[in-house]
């Protein structure tokens, strides 16, 4: 056999198309024995620069996020005209699919599960809304498209927020990209054309909570015009609460919650996710929420276990079929790999190491095109590719070109250049802008390189900062049953685990451990703590973990390991 029956993107073999949208397709894929999901931009869409820009923006944001409730992009790239991103395979059901499943049974999503889903959404948003792609900024990320089809409940019981195509950083200026949020979940101000922000997500979660608890949208309509009218002007219906809460006090609390969360004036709504959580979770509901992902896993097995097991078996069979075909391929075909370019190299603003200049008296003098005055601006970040400055001039023009002189201090001559304004953000309540150098001489470029090299101790290359710190997720993959049984007997059943990880972890650091098996897409998420971590090679570390286990965890591990 001289050719492969499977499409290939870089080192990934595509096994089956599992989903499709207007702009992209999702494939089950495999690489080095591990299954993945690949999102590929449709070929006809790659000719649209705006679509490509939006796709790369999504990749740049999602690849830097690290939270158990957020689907992380693990890899990305471009081969010829194919743009793609890679995540873990999504073995689970979206909230939309769960709603449809229970509706088909003339029922609704059980209250205990609904409360769990709302709590997990809150955790994802709390992380996202405290994460920024601009150091020192007090504006943060938002999702922008929170809806049932963008939340998937995995078979292991964890909820994942996905699809960051509408995500962005809060900005002082108008939105610089198209917004694709689902109409049902958009607040009145976004429908009027205002840019989305963190409060857009909080409003969407209020609508989702209404849908889960009452089984209907707060503003039902026959068409788009009616829906927009309802969101903008109508009050949500007053519904029966007898199946939700017992006391009149809690009935009042539910009504107050939704009156506030769905208010037409955003100033009178929840101002952040913490406010939302405080008001929602002090309500005493008739059912207790499922307490953790193990309880949710058990719930899924009872209600939709057959559906998920069938999906797992189907995907696992396709992986086995791939390896049967792969063994028949020639070495020439196996080693035929297209060159993959990183997508982030095309749009990543921070192409170069940059210094954070709070301790350095660097000034940028900008010629104001209106007054022709020269205005001094403090520089916050500097690289040979551009600067971040405190804006002291008139209203900045996104995309505008500005002549700039940069004064680096007595040891370096000033440099002159022309810069393009890329974005505007708020830092401590003041306007700051990022500018990219578009015209700079070789001499000035060398001066910048020397300056950055001299202050190398201040260089920071991270793209995203997050507050508060979140747990790292480490993977433990077992390729065969014998390997797992040995580790189970020697370590796991005694509360320990030994594995290899790509990042250096701190002793005593709390982590999430995802235990996976090569013969099934099912996995289990466990809490762990690093006992020690030793570096053995570049990007390769040996890690000893202490696991937080119960008899239920051990039983589930054995159950998954013996699936065929």
**CATH classification of the domain holding 481:** 2.40.10.220
The pLDDT confidence band at residue 537, using thresholds 50, 70 and 90, is confident
pLDDT at 468: 40
pLDDT at 286: 94
Judged against a pLDDT cut of 70, whether residue 334 lies above it is answered with no
Summarize pLDDT for 180-191 with one digit per residue, the tens: 568 899 999 999
The pLDDT confidence band at residue 134, using thresholds 50, 70 and 90, is low
Q: How far apart are CA 532 and CA 508, in angstroms?
A: 8
Domain count, the chain: 4
The pLDDT confidence band at residue 520, using thresholds 50, 70 and 90, is confident
Same domain, 435 and 496: no
Q: Can you give the CATH number for the domain in which 214 is found?
A: 1.10.510.10
Q: What are phi and psi of 222, to 5 degrees?
A: -85, -20
pLDDT at 510: 87
Percentage of the chain surpassing pLDDT 70? 84
Would strands 82-87 and 141-142 be described as parallel, antiparallel, or unpaired? unpaired
The pLDDT confidence band at residue 408, using thresholds 50, 70 and 90, is confident
Cα-atom radius of gyration of the chain, to the nearest Å?
26
Judged against a pLDDT cut of 50, whether residue 346 lies above it is answered with no
pLDDT at 245: 93
**What mean pLDDT comes out for the span 261-267?**
94
Domain that holds residue 166: 93-293
Is residue 128 within 8 A of residue 68, CB to CB? The reply is no
Judged against a pLDDT cut of 60, whether residue 308 lies above it is answered with yes
Across 420-436, b (16+ Cβ under 10 Å) vs e yields bbebbbebeeebbbbbe
pLDDT at 356: 55
Judging by beta carbons within 10 Å of its beta carbon (0-12, 13-18, 19+), is residue 258 exposed, middle or buried? buried
pLDDT at 360: 54
Same domain, 260 and 354: no
**What mean pLDDT comes out for the span 475-499?**
87
pTM comes to: 0.75
Lowest mean pLDDT segment, chosen from 235-249, 359-373, 471-485: 359-373
In angstroms, how far is CA 444 from the centroid of its own chain? 38
**What mean pLDDT comes out for the span 5-13?**
85
The conformation of residue 468, written as its DSSP 8-state character, comes to: S
pLDDT at 165: 81
**What mean pLDDT comes out for the span 530-540?**
84
Judged against a pLDDT cut of 80, whether residue 331 lies above it is answered with no
Same domain, 172 and 289: yes
Tokens of 264: 């037409």
The conformation of residue 148, written as its DSSP 8-state character, comes to: G
The pLDDT confidence band at residue 337, using thresholds 50, 70 and 90, is low
Angle between helix 293-327 and 551-561 (nearest 10): 20
On whether residue 222 sits in a domain, the answer given is yes
Cα–Cα–Cα angle for 100, 526, 518, rounded to 5 degrees = 75
| Total number of residues shown for the chain | 564
**What mean pLDDT comes out for the span 78-103?**
91
Same domain, 282 and 339: no
Judged against a pLDDT cut of 90, whether residue 326 lies above it is answered with no
Cα–Cα–Cα angle for 146, 147, 149, rounded to 5 degrees = 125
pLDDT at 291: 85
Same domain, 407 and 508: no
Same domain, 234 and 118: yes
């Amino acid at each position: 056999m001289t050719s492969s029956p499977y499409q290939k993107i870089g080192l990934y073999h595509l096994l089956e198309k599992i989903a499709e949208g207007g702009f992209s397709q999702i494939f089950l894929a495999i690489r080095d024995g591990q299954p993945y999901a690949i999102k590929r931009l449709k070929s006809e869409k790659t000719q649209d620069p705006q679509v490509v820009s939006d796709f790369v923006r999504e990749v740049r944001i999602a690849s830097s996020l690290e939270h158990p409730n957020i689907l992380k992009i693990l890899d990305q790239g471009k081969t010829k005209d194919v743009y793609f991103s890679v995540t873990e395979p999504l073995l689970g059901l979206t909230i939309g699919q769960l709603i449809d499943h229970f509706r088909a049974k003339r029922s609704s999503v059980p209250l205990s599960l609904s409360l769990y889903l709302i709590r997990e959404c809150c955790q994802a948003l709390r992380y996202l809304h405290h994460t920024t792609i601009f150091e020192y900024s007090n504006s943060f990320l938002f999702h922008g498209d929170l809806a049932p089809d963008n939340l998937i409940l995995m078979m292991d019981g964890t909820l994942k927020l996905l699809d960051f195509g509408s995500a962005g950083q809060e900005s002082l200026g108008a939105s610089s990209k198209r917004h694709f949020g689902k109409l049902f979940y958009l607040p009145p101000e976004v429908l009027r054309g205002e840019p989305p922000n963190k409060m857009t997500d909080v409003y969407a979660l209020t609508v989702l909570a209404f849908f889960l608890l009452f089984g209907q949208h707060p503003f039902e309509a026959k068409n788009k015009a009616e829906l927009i009218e309802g969101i903008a002007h109508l009050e949500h219906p007053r519904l029966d609460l007898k199946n939700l809460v017992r006391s009149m006090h809690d009935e009042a609390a539910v009504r107050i919650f939704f009156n506030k969360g769905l208010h037409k004036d955003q100033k009178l709504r929840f101002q952040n996710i913490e406010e939302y959580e405080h008001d929602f979770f002090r309500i005493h509901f008739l059912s207790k929420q499922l307490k953790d992902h193990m309880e949710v896993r058990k719930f899924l097995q009872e209600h939709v276990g057959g559906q998920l097991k069938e999906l797992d078996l189907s995907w696992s069979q396709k992986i086995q079929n791939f390896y049967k075909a792969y063994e028949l391929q020639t070495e020439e075909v196996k080693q035929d790999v297209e060159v993959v370019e990183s997508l982030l190299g095309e749009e990543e603003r921070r192409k170069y190491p940059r210094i954070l200049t709070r301790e350095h008296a660097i000034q940028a003098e900008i010629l104001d095109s209106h007054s022709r005055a020269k205005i001094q601006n403090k520089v916050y970040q500097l690289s040979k590719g551009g600067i971040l400055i405190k804006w002291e001039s008139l209203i900045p023009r996104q995309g505008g070109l500005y002549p700039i002189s940069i004064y680096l201090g007595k040891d370096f001559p000033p440099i002159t250049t022309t810069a393009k304004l890329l974005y505007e953000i708020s830092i401590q309540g003041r306007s700051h802008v990022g500018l990219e150098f578009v015209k700079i001489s070789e001499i000035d470029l060398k001066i910048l390189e020397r300056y950055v090299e001299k202050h190398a101790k201040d260089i920071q290359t991270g793209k995203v900062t997050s507050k508060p710190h979140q747990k790292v997720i480490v993977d433990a993959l077992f390729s065969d049953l014998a390997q797992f049984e040995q580790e189970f007997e020697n370590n796991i059943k005694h509360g320990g685990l030994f594995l290899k990880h790509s990042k250096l972890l701190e002793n005593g650091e709390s982590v999430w451990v995802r235990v996976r098996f090569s013969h099934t897409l099912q996995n289990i998420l466990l809490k762990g703590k690093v006992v020690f971590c030793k570096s053995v090679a570049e990007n390769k570390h040996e890690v000893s973990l202490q696991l937080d286990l119960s008899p239920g965890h051990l039983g589930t591990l054995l159950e998954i390991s013996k699936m065929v």
